[in-house]
Amino acid sequence: MPVIEVADLRRTYHAKTGIRRRSSREVEAVRGISFEVERGELFGLLGPNGAGKTTTIKMLITLLLPTSGSIRVLGFDAVTEPREVRSRVGYVFGGDRGLYERLSGLDNLRYFAQLYGVPAHEQMARIGELLEMVGLSGRERERVEGYSRGMRQRLHIARGLLHRPEVLFLDEPSIGIDPVGARELRDTVAALASTGTTVLLTTHYMFEADSLCDRIAVIAGGQIVAHGTPAELKGRVADGNVVEVEVFGSAEGSLDAVRALTGVSSALVEERGQAQVLVVRSGPGIDVTAPVLGCLSGIPLGRVAMREPTLEDAYVELVGAQDVT
Amino acid sequence: MTATLRLLGMGWWLQMKTRSRDPFDGILNIIYPLIFATTVFMMFREGGDESALITAAVGASVMGVWSAVATSAAGSLQNERRQGTLELLVAAPAPFPLLVVPMTLAMATLGLYSLVATLLWGRIVFQIPISIDQPLVFAAAAIVTAAGISLMGFLLAVTAVRYRAAWALGTALEFPIWIVCGFLIPVATLPEWVQPISWILPPTWGVAAIQDAAFGGTPWVNIAICLGLSAVYGVIGALLAGRLVNAARTHATLALT
Amino acid sequence: MTSLRIFFLGGWTSYRALFGWLSPWILIPTFIIGPVLQIVFFALVGRTAGVGDDTFFLIGNAIQYASIPCLFAMGNTIGGERYSQTLSLLLASPARRVPLFLGRSLPVIVNGLLCSLIALVLGSLVLRVTIPVSAIPMLVVAVTVAAFSCTGLGLAIAALGLRVRDVAVLSNIVMGVLLVFCGVNVALTAMPDWMAAIGNSLPLTHGIEAARATVAGASAADVSGLIVTEVAIGSAYLALGLLMLAYFERESRRSATLDLA
């Protein structure tokens, strides 16, 4: 039985605008997504900001009610049996909020241990163990207001694990921490997954999803646009070539012409510093460099390069395609 | 049962820690009621009735307990929302009301400082001959009153889960409770339509019990009524909390963003 | 001309920025219901204690309530700017200081005045106190000068805002001092001499006395001395505030204590 089963999940927000004339606008944050996560899996929801990742995770941990669709976590219905779900899952989000600043790290952990019903005689041992694991031993009696971002994030992780949750939800855990801290965080998450904890992680960093997750669902515009193992996702673009052309001027005007060329499977414009870069992907064995340059005649060009496709290309293409629709 | 008590106890203790770490807030919580007490003492002294002054001194001491709760209860959950912990509290399996009650209990406990401070202020600065007839019973009545006030605060705090402007409501309720609960103005002298409001508020009975304990009456009936009413407020608050948290899950108002 | 523009425009803009976050849900309880409740509370306590009459408490508390916007809005002018880290921008600007800060006080005075007048009207309706029509013009003058002198004190507190971290606490305490010492609920004649002496050196005291005398039938000539004294006291605090601002500004530039320490 899958640990998480999500079927045709939807969530609509009513955004109110204006004070005098109350007009209510409906925003569809999540538009019918379905996926399953197996026990012990490290599953990633990858997507840009505003794609619906956080809304999805909040429905899974019972903080938001779905507009329609069903969610089962560990066999319990997240809508009608929230208490059952809450006591079995852990939730950690990124950023430096979500802690009692004026209390010590230890007090924060003791309070949540009590909230999650960790038996009194086990609390101190469990907290000690977790402090050791996240590398906060010796600092636990200091007030949180003096903690660095990395320390706060590690305290968050410890808090989320107090009750030995069967499933851990991590919402953008590495946001705002430095690269070293982010790597330590990934090591911690990987270690957790290896001990059998199911982990669902959201991120907008591709390499994070790539290096950590067993499976990834790419989410954009409230829908899952692709899903599979990192290798499978890369495979979708592996057979082909990518041509990058630096353009000093406006490349947008030529996009349609480039897309119409035979052999071109996609074309995108990225802003990189002062220049725009036209990224053109073509089918296997077809070199589209010359016709692409033909479409750009009259515009000052910089470096032209040809390379192998990466996971990032797959991601940009999936997410970019969604933006167009 | 023990787990629930531990949860309440720990919530209360940590809230006390948090609140007492804001020195400005703490000082104000004691000074502000003393300002009003000073004015009131001067008015009664000018009036010249010594026994009315003593009664007023005892009644005025409870004013600060309500101030401490009224001004912070409604804002407390907005604070949790602002620091991102409200979601974590709701996401925990522990019943939400059991997390809010200790917050307002802690506020009322800090309000007890102001109760003692006001009595001492009256005694030392105004040399009001306050003598407590039954000190232990007095303490019990004060604690019961504080509990009743904290459960009113609980109801106020819970309302604020859904309505963000509710914190202003708390401050606006400071005077009305001072007026109708018989702290200084005998309930019997209030207009008749106001008196039923006084009767359904726990502090009315709590203050009566405190005065009984101070001046040699039998406070037990008043204490019992205060406790009973407090329980009713607790139950209403808990039911409301359940409904409002569900509404917040529908309307996505638990987080700030 | 420029000074005048800084005075009016700058003042109004900063005032709106300070209170922009307040919704009607907060403004109405704070500025309308609050003062009426305070009047009723003290009038009822007065009846219980057997002192004063309803008119006494109505006028005292309605005028004292002007101190809330006057003290807090003015006090926050600096504290708020420091919090939003716009203070250094402001002080880096070449604008002349006196019109800059005086300009900020004008909307505050108007706010205090309105607050008191609304409290007087609503309070007299609730307590069924009649104020003679002939007394109204002089009453408005008395309330206006009281709001002015309170704002002067507010500016002095605002100046302290360059040094103290939590100006709101200070404003609260000063408001309490005004409540106790200014003859709001206890006439100065019923106070010990030392308290009356303090009361006589604070804003509000003479304004309240003038207002009470006016309602009791005194003529404009009778109360003109009180009005002049009130204006003089207000101007003194205003001058003190401006001097402190100039001094602290110079000091903090030297010791770098301008922004949130």
- Residue A314 domain-assigned (yes or no): no
pLDDT confidence tier of residue C261, bands split at 50, 70 and 90: very low
| Res C250 pLDDT > 80 | no
Q: Which of A200, A230, A260 is the last residue of a domain?
A: A230
Closest residue of B to C24, CA-based?
A: B165
pLDDT in tens, B106-143: 999 999 999 999 999 999 999 999 888 899 999 999 99
- Using CB atoms and an 8 Å cut-off, which of residues 242-281 of chain A contact chain B? none
Whether A220 and A262 map to the same domain: the answer is: no
- Using CB atoms and an 8 Å cut-off, which of residues 4-43 of chain C contact chain B? 23, 25-26, 29-30, 33-34, 37-38, 40-42
Query: Of the ranges A80-94, A106-120, A121-135, C26-40, which one carries the lowest mean pLDDT score?
Result: C26-40
- Beta-carbon contacts of C64 under 8 Å, excluding residues fewer than 6 positions away, are C38, C178, C179, C182, C184, C204, C208
Cα–Cα nearest to B12, from C24, C143, A107, C145: A107
| Res C120 pLDDT > 70 | yes
| Res B257 pLDDT > 70 | no
Whether A80 and A168 map to the same domain: the answer is: yes
Q: Name the domain count of chain A.
A: 2
CA distance A30 to A144: 35
CA distance A243 to A281: 6
pLDDT confidence tier of residue C260, bands split at 50, 70 and 90: very low
Query: Of the ranges A19-33, A85-99, A268-282, which one carries the lowest mean pLDDT score?
Result: A19-33
* Interface contact B3-A65, CB threshold 8 A: no
What's the mean pLDDT in B198-223? 94
Closest residue of A to B85, CA-based?
A: A98
- Using CB atoms and an 8 Å cut-off, which of residues 64-123 of chain A contact chain B? 64-65, 83, 86-87, 91, 93, 95, 97-103, 107, 110-112, 114-117, 119-120
pLDDT in tens, C167-180: 777 788 888 899 99
- Beta-carbon contacts of A310 under 8 Å, excluding residues fewer than 6 positions away, are A234
Q: Which of B2, B21, B254 sits opposite A63 (nearest CB)?
A: B254
Find the DSSP H helices in A78-148: 82-86, 105-115, 120-134
DSSP code per residue over C92-159: HS---HHHHHHHHHHHHHHHHHHHHHHHHHHHHHHHT----GGGHHHHHHHHHHHHHHHHHHHHHHHH
Q: Which of A233-237, A312-316, B77-81 has the highest mean pLDDT?
A: B77-81
Query: CA of B99 to nearest chain A CA: how many angstroms apart?
Result: 8
Domain boundaries, chain C: 2-255
Cα–Cα nearest to B114, from B140, B154, B142, B153: B142
Q: Which of A97, A111, A159 sits opposite B83 (nearest CB)?
A: A97
- Give, in order, the Cα–Cα distances in Å from A262 to each of A243, A280, A292: 14, 12, 10
Query: How many Cα atoms occupy the beta-carbon half-sphere of A292 within 13 Å?
Result: 29
Give the structural domain span for B29. Answer: 2-251
Query: CA of B234 to nearest chain A CA: how many angstroms apart?
Result: 20
Q: What is the pLDDT of residue C21?
A: 47
What's the mean pLDDT in B62-90? 88
Whether A142 and A10 map to the same domain: the answer is: yes
Q: What is the pLDDT of residue C87?
A: 60
- Residue B83 domain-assigned (yes or no): yes
Q: What is the pLDDT of residue B149?
A: 96
- Residue B226 domain-assigned (yes or no): yes
* Interface contact C26-B168, CB threshold 8 A: yes
Q: Helices B2-20 & B23-47, crossing angle to 10 degrees? A: 80
Q: Which two tokens stand for residue A182?
A: 């982010």
- Residue A169 domain-assigned (yes or no): yes
Query: Of the ranges A129-133, B81-85, C208-212, which one carries the lowest mean pLDDT score?
Result: B81-85
Mutate: best of B8, B14, B79, B251, partner A, most A CBs <10 A: B14
Q: What is the pLDDT of residue C163?
A: 73
In chain C, what residues touch B32 (CB-CB under 8 Å)? Answer: 172, 176
Say if B31 is an interface residue toward chain C (CB within 8 Å).
yes
Dihedral sign for Cα atoms in the order A119, A121, A124, A128: negative
CA distance A196 to C206: 78
Whether A77 and A224 map to the same domain: the answer is: yes
DSSP conformational letter for B153: H
Whether A147 and A173 map to the same domain: the answer is: yes
Looking up tokens 């990058």 gives: A244
CA distance A305 to A3: 45
Query: CA of C180 to nearest chain B CA: how many angstroms apart?
Result: 6
CA distance C155 to C167: 12
Q: Which two tokens stand for residue A179?
A: 């690269």
Q: Is A171 in contact with A53 (CB distance < 8 Å)? A: yes
Q: Label residues B60-84 b or e (16+ Cβ within 10 Å = b).
A: bbbbbbbbbbbbbbbbbbbebbebb
- Residue A315 domain-assigned (yes or no): no
Say if A63 is an interface residue toward chain B (CB within 8 Å).
yes
Q: Which amino acid is at A6?
A: V
Q: What is the pLDDT of residue C12?
A: 52
- Residue B257 domain-assigned (yes or no): no
- Give, in order, the Cα–Cα distances in Å from A154 to each of A93, A166, A325, B115: 11, 19, 39, 42
Any idea what the CATH number is for the domain that residue A276 is in? Answer: 3.30.70.100
| Res C223 pLDDT > 90 | yes
Contacts of B among chains (3+ CB pairs under 8 A): A, C
pLDDT confidence tier of residue B169, bands split at 50, 70 and 90: confident
Whether A57 and A103 map to the same domain: the answer is: yes
- Residue B59 domain-assigned (yes or no): yes
CA A108, chain centre distance (Å): 26
Q: What is the pLDDT of residue C1?
A: 37
Q: Is C81 in contact with C90 (CB distance < 8 Å)? A: yes
Q: What is the pLDDT of residue A314?
A: 74
Say if B56 is an interface residue toward chain C (CB within 8 Å).
yes
- Beta-carbon contacts of B157 under 8 Å, excluding residues fewer than 6 positions away, are B73, B74, B76, B77, B100, B103, B104
* Interface contact B18-A65, CB threshold 8 A: no
Whether A268 and A193 map to the same domain: the answer is: no
Query: CA of B36 to nearest chain C CA: how many angstroms apart?
Result: 8
pLDDT in tens, C28-79: 767 788 889 999 999 999 999 999 899 999 999 999 988 888 887 777 666 6
pLDDT confidence tier of residue C211, bands split at 50, 70 and 90: very high
- Residue A58 domain-assigned (yes or no): yes
CA distance B235 to B231: 6
| Res A30 pLDDT > 60 | yes
What's the mean pLDDT in A228-234? 84
pLDDT in tens, C133-150: 999 999 999 999 999 999
Q: What percent of chain C has a predicted confidence (pLDDT) above 90?
A: 46
Say if C45 is an interface residue toward chain B (CB within 8 Å).
yes
Q: What is the pLDDT of residue C89?
A: 61
Q: Which of B18, B89, B92 sits opposite A103 (nearest CB)?
A: B18
Query: What is the average pLDDT score of chain C?
Result: 81
Q: How many helices (H) and strands (E) does chain A have?
A: 11, 14
| Res A91 pLDDT > 50 | yes
- Residue A256 domain-assigned (yes or no): yes
Q: Which two tokens stand for residue B254?
A: 């638990």
Give the structural domain span for A130. Answer: 4-230
Q: Which of A14, A101, A117 sits opposite B94 (nearest CB)?
A: A117
Whether A161 and A254 map to the same domain: the answer is: no
Q: Is A176 in contact with A94 (CB distance < 8 Å)? A: yes
Main-chain phi, psi angles of C192, to 5 degrees: -60, 155
Dihedral sign for Cα atoms in the order A289, A290, A294, A300: positive
- Residue A148 CB neighbour total at 10 angstroms: 12
- Residue B130 CB neighbour total at 10 angstroms: 17
Q: Name the domain count of chain B.
A: 1
Q: What is the pLDDT of residue A247?
A: 84
- Residue A321 domain-assigned (yes or no): no
Closest residue of B to C39, CA-based?
A: B175
Q: Which residues pair with C187 in a beta bridge?
A: none
- Give, in order, the Cα–Cα distances in Å from B133 to each of B12, B115, B121, B139, C5: 31, 17, 19, 11, 67
What's the mean pLDDT in B3-18? 92
DSSP conformational letter for C1: -
Q: What is the pLDDT of residue B164?
A: 61
Q: What is the pLDDT of residue B162?
A: 66
What's the mean pLDDT in A205-229? 88
Q: Is A30 in contact with A46 (CB distance < 8 Å)? A: no
Q: Which amino acid is at A285?
A: G
Whether A207 and A250 map to the same domain: the answer is: no
- Residue B73 domain-assigned (yes or no): yes
Q: What is the pLDDT of residue A58?
A: 92
B244 vs B7, which has greater pLDDT?
B7
| Res B215 pLDDT > 80 | yes
Closest residue of B to A120, CA-based?
A: B3
Q: Which of A17-21, A114-118, A315-319, C162-166 has the highest mean pLDDT?
A: A114-118
Whether A223 and A246 map to the same domain: the answer is: no
Cα–Cα nearest to B6, from B111, B143, B99: B99
Query: Of the ranges A208-217, A311-320, B124-133, C204-213, which one carries the lowest mean pLDDT score?
Result: A311-320
B39 vs C11, which has greater pLDDT?
B39
What's the mean pLDDT in C113-131? 92
- Residue A92 domain-assigned (yes or no): yes
- Give, in order, the Cα–Cα distances in Å from A81 to each of A3, A84, B158: 15, 6, 22
| Res C84 pLDDT > 70 | no
Q: What does the CA dihedral C231, C234, C236, C237 come to, rounded to 10 degrees? A: 180
Main-chain phi, psi angles of A199, to 5 degrees: -125, 130
